[in-house]
Structure 1
Amino acid sequence: MKHFPRPRLAMEMIESCMGKTLFGDTHNGLFLAAPRRTGKTTFLRMDLKPALEQQGVHVIYVDLWSDLDGDPGLIIADAIGKALANTNTAFNKIARNTRLDKVTIPGVSLGFNRPDQPDTITLTDALRAMIEAAKSPVALIIDEAQHALTSERGRNTMVALKSARDQINAPGLVQLMLIMSGSDRDKLLHLVHGNSSPFFGSQVGHMPELDQNFIAFIAQEIEAVRPDLIPVDVNTLFRAFQLFGNRPQLIMTAVTDAISPLASTSERFECKVMDEALLRQKRDEDEMKNGFLALTPLGQAIIWRMLEMGENFRPYDAAALDFYAEKTAKKPSIANVQKTIQTLRDQNHPMIWKSAMGEYSVSDAAMHRWYLKKAENGGWPPTRQGENNA
C-alpha cells in the first residue's frame, strides 16, 4: 500500500521545534511517546525527516532498536560520526582546526580512522562545527530513545546532548533540534523526570495516532482496485482499527486477507476484518493473562506493584515490601525481591526493563494498557478459569 502522508503534523512539529510557536518548550527537545507498531517510526522517517530537510535542516536519524545487542551510546555516537564524516566541509573544518581523530563523550568516542591525528573534540564542538559548515540547523532524531538509559554510555550521551543543546541554542535561535521518540511513555519519562534525568524539566507528549483519515485513505485505495466493494464501510473499519490498537500493519493484513480472491464471499469484507480484530484482541489479552499467571506469587506481586505505581515504582521501599507481603501472605526479603526481578529481566521475553540508574518498568507498554482496562472493569487481578477475582 502507498504511504499515508501526514505533512501537516510534520510541519506543526517542526515549527514547534524551531521555537515558532507562542507557548511550549519543545524547542528545548521534542519527546514523543506512541505504542509500538502504530506508525511512529514510519512517520519519523517518511514524513518528519523529509520535511525537515525541505526546510534546509541537516537531519541525523538514529534507531536505537536497530541493534539491541549494541551499546546505545555507541550507536548514537556512530551515527553522529558518520554524519560528520559525510559532511566533507564540516569534517575538513574540524580536522583543520583540531587535527581531529575522535569526538569524545564521557565513556564514548567517535572514531574517524585518522590515526595520524590524535587530538579530540567534544560532541558540542563537533555539532557546532557541523552547523557552521552546513550553514543550517541540525536535527538529531533518536527513535526508541528510552533505550539509551539502559547503559552508562547511553546515559552519558544524553547528558552530552543536553549540554550541546544548551551551549549551541540561544533565545530565538534554535540551531540544534533534539527529537526523541519512544514506544513506552513510562520509560521515556525517565529522560525528563527526576533531578538526575538528562533532560529534567522537559515534557513527554503523546504522538497523535492514525485516525479516521487513515481509514478513509485505505478505503479509497480499496475502492480504486475493487469497484465491486464500493462503498466501503469506513465506520466498521475504523472500529476494527481501534480494536487492533491503531496498528496499521495489523489492519492492512486483515484487509488483504478479507478481500483476497480466495476469501469467502458470504459476508462483507469489513465484517471479516472486524472478526479478526476481535480475535486478535482476545489472543493478545490471553497471552498477557497467561504470562502473568505463570509467575510466582512474588513475581505477580512485583509486576502488579509496577503496573499500579508506574514511574513512581520503588521495588525495595517499605510500602512495596508491605504490598508484596499483602499479596503473597509472606513478607519477602529484599534479596528475594532482587532475585525475582532479575529472573523476570533474564527471561527469553523479559517482563521488566531497568535503566542504568536503577529505574524499573514493565518491558511491554501494552501490558500497562491491559492492566488499566482490567482495573477499570473490576477484572483485576486476572484469575484462572473458574476462579473468582481477588
Structure 2
Amino acid sequence: MAALKSARDQLNRPGDIKLMLVMSGSDRDKLLRLVNTNAAPFYGSQIQRLPELGPDFIAHIAHLIAQQRPDLGAIDQARLQAAFALFGQRPQFFIDALGQALSPLATHGTRFEDAMLALARQRQHGDEAQMQSDYLALKPLEQAVLWRMLELGARFRPYDAEALSFYNDKTGDRVTVAKAQKALEALRAHQPSLVWKSARSEYTVEDAAMPRWYAQRVAAGTWPPVGPQLDWIEE
C-alpha cells in the first residue's frame, strides 16, 4: 500500500495522470475507505466505477460460440443476457456455467441457452439459501447488528445511540456497547466472514451480494428471514 501511494505521489500531477489502479470485483464501500479521510492511504484520489459488462460482452461470447459450434445455429443473445443478469453480472460464474452447458457430456437435453438460465437460477437460489441459512444461524444480537449494517450501508455506526436502540428493539434485551462489540467480532470470526473491518475500525458487509439480497427481500416484504428459533446461552 505504501509503495502504491509513493508511486502515485511521484507519477501523478494535476491534469497529468500516469498511474491508475484497476480493481476487478472490488467492493465500492471498502474502496471508499482508502480515499475519504485525511488518514486514508490514497486521500485525495478519485474512484470511478467501470461500466458493467453488458450486451457487447454477450455479443462477443455469442460470436465465439458460433465460431466454435456452428452446429448450434443462431445464438439467443437475449437469453444469455438474462442468464448473465441472474449471475449478478459476474463473468467468472457465467463462463463456468457456459463450460457446463456446452459440454459434450451435458445431459440437460435442451438448448444451451435454456441450460444457462437454469444454471443461473440454481446459482442464485443457492446463494440466497446460503445467506438465509447463515443469517438464521446467528444469535439474535448478531442478526440485529448485521440487519443494521445492511440497512445503513456506509452510514453504519455500530455504537451510537440509535444503533443501540435498534439492537434493543430487535432483541428485546438491553444491549451495551460491549455486547454490540462482541457481536461484531463474532460476525467477523464467522466462517466465511460476514463482516469486514478496516484499519480505522469501520465496518461493512463482506459479501457484496448480501446487500442486494437484503434489498430484494425488503422490497418483497419478506425481511427478516424466518426460521426455527434457537435457544442461545449468553456468556
The TM-score bracket by the shorter chain reads 0.7 to 0.9
| Equivalent in 62, 66, 69 of residue 219 of structure 1 | 62
If the length of structure 1 is used for normalisation, what is the TM-score? 0.54
1:346 is aligned with what amino acid? Answer: A
Q: Deviations over 1:315-355 (max 9, x none)?
A: 11111100100110112111111111112212231111111
Aligned pair 1:313/2:121, yes or no?
no
Aligned pair 1:186/2:29, yes or no?
yes
Aligned pair 1:177/2:38, yes or no?
no
**Shift in Å, 1:261:** 2.1
Alignment map for 1:235-384 (pairs within 5 Å):
235-264=78-107, 266-384=109-227
Structure 1: segments with no counterpart, 5+ residues = 1-72, 78-139, 141-157, 386-390
The structure number with the bigger radius of gyration is 1
**Shift in Å, 1:267:** 2.0
1:318 is aligned with what amino acid? Answer: A
User: Which has the higher relative contact order, 1 or 2, with Cα contacts under 8 A spaced 6 or more apart?
Assistant: 1
1:309 is aligned with what amino acid? Answer: L
Higher mean displacement: 337-346 or 260-269? 260-269
Distance 2:38 2:174 in 1: 32
Q: Counterpart in 1 of 2:231?
A: none
Alignment map for 1:1-390 (pairs within 5 Å):
73=1, 77=3, 158=5, 164=9, 169-174=12-17, 176-179=18-21, 181=23, 183-264=26-107, 266-384=109-227
Distance 1:198 1:318 in 2: 30
Higher fraction of strand: 1
If the length of structure 2 is used for normalisation, what is the TM-score? 0.87
Cα contact 2:108–2:115 (8 A) shared by 1 = no
Describe the shift of the 1:275–1:212 C-alpha distance in structure 2 as closer, same or farther (beyond 3 A). same
Distance 2:84 2:162 in 1: 40
**Shift in Å, 1:284:** 0.4
Query: What is the DSSP-based 3-state SS (H/G/I as helix, E as strand, rest coil) of the residue aligned with 1:361?
Result: strand
**Shift in Å, 1:161:** 5.9
Structure 2: segments with no counterpart, 5+ residues = 229-235
1:197 is aligned with what amino acid? Answer: A
1:316 is aligned with what amino acid? Answer: Y
Identity value in percent: 47
1:355 is aligned with what amino acid? Answer: S
Distance 1:339 1:302 in 2: 10
Distance 1:203 1:380 in 2: 35
